[in-house]
Chain A
Amino acid sequence: MIHIFDYQDNHYVYDTGSGALHMADRETADYLRAKEGQTVDLSALSPEKIREIEGDIASLVKEELLYKEEVKLYPPKSKYVKALCLHICHDCNLRCRYCFADEGAYHSAREMMSLDTAKRAIDFLIANSGDRKVLEVDFFGGEPLMNLSVIKETVYYAKEEAAKRGKRFLFTTTTNALLLNEETVRFLNEEMENVVLSIDGRKEVHDAVRKTVNGKGSFDAVIDKIKNFVSLRGDKHFYVRGTFTAKNLDFDKDVLFLADQGFDSISMEPVVTDIPDLQIKEGDLPAVKESYDRLCDEYLKRYAEGKGFNFFHFNVDLEGGPCLSKRVSACGAGNEYFSVTPNGDIYPCHQFAGDKDFLMGNVFEGKLDPSIRERFASSCLFTRKGCEDCFAKFICSGGCNANNYHYNRDIDVPYQMTCEMMKKRIECAMHILAQKKLGE
């Protein structure tokens, strides 16, 4: 299938079968729209022009860059585990209103993961990793730095055990930055492949939802710590990551605020919540899309001025990127990626933690519930409802299992609000890619 879209005065044609992106003049775009069954007035096109357009289209079809048949490849079911999210701490030193994890407690007692449990989780991962050489562990919470000593010992233990077996670990930590100090920063910079630092943008936006235990905004307590961390990070990966809600639908201002602080690697995610005043609703979509448009324009402007930054959702790799198998199988939650809670319980991912319907086992037993694993392993792009006719399918892979379940009680039924935002971001990303290419 093809997707024809306009961005300002530019007309783009994306071919889902080949993954190719083309830029067209208005006449060609209109001709293709008519060919797709859309109502378009082509009366102004002369016979010569139509012949020219048809010739161009025929050339691209011959090169398999337009109307290429999509390959319906069901991904192989992985037998191995490649990644764990360790809930190193089910407690938090913030009380963010929108927290999906019940302000860190995950709807149960506030508790820390013991070193023994963390070591068993590492053993479980290594034992189930087959011939995979690179394994991933994400230290997550609550606020993981509240249990720093266990993180440190777990890292050292994992590296030691991996070395014995010719494997290697990549570690990630997600933190609210409140506990960053000289020692912690040094450790994270030495050992973490990636660090995700949570900050929502402008002070008033951040403080409205990210509050301390005493109910005060946390912006002033974290901003300088994040700046210091980033200044010492060198060329290693990090993301400052914000959440936008119905209260800041102009979140482009927050992304740009973060860029203005010197953070050149930024992610901004729509909130996952059913709290009425924070939840993004259908009526908010036009404002969200306008925000992405404004961000896209400013992103390109700054790029042209040599002041570019990396915004996670505006990266789309149409020339490289993952293989078809990955594009179809998505994140791997519940199949090759799992989360482990402080008591060692295993869930498909962090967003299912605490939901007993999705309890898959425990690291001390070392087994995974075969029926839940099969449910997740069997789910792929081609089992998702409504994805077949969507141009974004090979880029988004059918959305997030947890989001789908949270809103529709079915991992195979995508949440349409997320779909709409995803499609908008992909169009922005394609426009950015094209403008960068044209400027080369």
Chain B
Amino acid sequence: MIKTIAKPMNRKVTGCGECRSTCQSACKTSCTVGNQSCERVTREEKIEKRK
């Protein structure tokens, strides 16, 4: 048995550069890109929710 727990969504955008600089997310030593969100996708989702 092998069961999928999580798979990435289809990304609408790549490389737009809107994302924040990682180090300012929370800490000042251990940059972790993987726990950051895509700014553009997050914004688009918020707009979708408001509709």
Hey, which bits of chain A sit against chain B, CB under 8 A?
Answer: 12-13, 18-25, 28, 53, 56-57, 60, 65, 75-76, 78, 80, 82-83, 85, 132, 134, 136, 138, 140, 170, 172, 174, 194, 196, 239, 241, 243, 267, 269-270, 272, 312-313, 315-327, 330-333, 336-337, 349-351, 394-397, 399-400, 403, 418, 422, 426, 429, 433-434, 437-438
Contacts and interface: CB of A to CB of B under 8 A. Distances in A.
A270 B29 contact: yes
A283 B11 CA distance: 41
Given A325-B15, A333-B23, A21 B34 contact: no
A20 B2 CA distance: 12
B3 interface: yes
A322 B26 contact: no
B5 to A, nearest CB: 5
Given A134-B18, A269-B29, A333-B23, A60 B4 contact: yes
Contact of B6 (A20, A25, A75, A267): A20
Contacts of A351: 28-29
Q: Which 10 A-B pairs have the closest CB atoms?
A: A395-B34, A325-B15, A323-B14, A337-B21, A315-B35, A83-B21, A318-B6, A20-B7, A331-B22, A24-B2
Given A324-B14, A418-B30, A337 B8 contact: no
Contacts of A313: 30, 32, 35
A19 B8 contact: yes
Interface of B: 1-9, 11, 13-39, 41-42
Contacts of A418: 30
B27 A241 contact: yes
B7 A65 contact: yes
Given A313-B30, A313-B35, A350-B28, A331 B7 contact: no
A23 B13 contact: no
Contacts of B20: 82-83, 134, 136, 170
B1 A56 contact: yes
11 contacts: A24-B1, A25-B2, A28-B2, A56-B2, A194-B25, A269-B27, A313-B30, A321-B35, A325-B14, A400-B23, A434-B5
A291 to B, nearest CB: 15
A82 B27 CA distance: 18
B5 A403 contact: no
Contacts of A403: 29
Contacts of B29: 243, 269-270, 272, 351, 400, 403
A320 B41 contact: yes
A7 to B, nearest CB: 12
A298 to B, nearest CB: 19
B32 A396 contact: yes
Contact of A331 (B9, B18, B21): B21
Nearest to A434: B5
Contacts of B32: 312-313, 395-396, 422
Given A80-B17, A323-B14, 9 more contacts: A22-B5, A65-B7, A312-B26, A315-B35, A320-B8, A320-B41, A322-B33, A351-B28, A437-B5
A399 B31 CA distance: 7
A195 B22 CA distance: 15
A312 B22 CA distance: 12
A303 B25 CA distance: 23
Interface centre among A76, A196, A321, A438 (most CB of B within 10 A): A321
A22 B6 CA distance: 7
B35 A316 contact: yes
B24 A194 contact: yes
A323 B26 contact: no
Contact of A82 (B9, B17, B35): B17
A25 B19 CA distance: 37
B5 A433 contact: yes
Nearest to A381: B33
Contacts of B9: 319-320
Contacts of B18: 132, 134
B7 A82 contact: no
Nearest to A240: B26
A327 B33 contact: yes
Contacts of A194: 24-26
